Amino acid sequence: MSQLYSLILASQSPRRKAFLSQLGYQFESISPDIDESLKPQETPHDYVARLALEKAQSIAKKSADATVVIGSDTCVVYQQRILGKPENLQQCREYLLLLSGTTHQVYTGVAVVQQALSKTSVVCTHVEFDEISDAEINAYWQSGEPKDKAGGYGIQGIGGQFVKTINGSYSSVVGLPLCETKQLLTQFNIFTPFNSTTTK
């Protein structure tokens, strides 16, 4: 990465931090403070794009001019309904029964901001679930994993057992599309040890 820039991830998500570290980026993580409420008539695509940008902008406003900030947001969608993080077992059961035996979409927006300059990308991945029983839902809830996961499951954890097929980006479903993030950062002249040859 160019020494002229510092890089901040506008998230404390361990999954997003692990993905960025995996690619060799050196960065700091800071939690953004924004209103994540859905606006009237807002589509899932527009929702994650807006939140990703607002997260990055909220940190960029408080940072040095040369700082580049990455923001990201993910939502699980079933028939255009955004499924948030379940507040209790009843809501988790509702979400997982909707997804059981069907295909849903996971939208992830990623935005990169430096001062007034910003670039945004949205990735949509189709995920097909196996049939899920009530007993499996109860046991999964007791594991604690669904409580902070959009749609009530984590594909990278125990929830991966429900996934039959995935059409699109696995890393996007987890929370940060690696390919698109790398492409956006390259536009800001930030490279990993694995693509830095492009600067030579």
State the catalytic residues. Answer: 73
Spatial distance between the Cα atoms of 112 and 67, rounded to a whole number of angstroms: 10
**In this structure, are residues 71 and 110 in contact, taking their beta carbons and an 8 Å threshold?**
yes
Buried b / exposed e along 19-37 (16+ C-beta atoms within 10 A) = bbeebebebebbebebeee
Spatial distance between the Cα atoms of 62 and 134, rounded to a whole number of angstroms: 47
* Max Cα distance, the chain (Å): 57
Q: Which residues neighbour 42 within 8 Å (Cβ) at sequence distance 6 or greater?
A: 50
DSSP assignment, residue 89? Answer: H
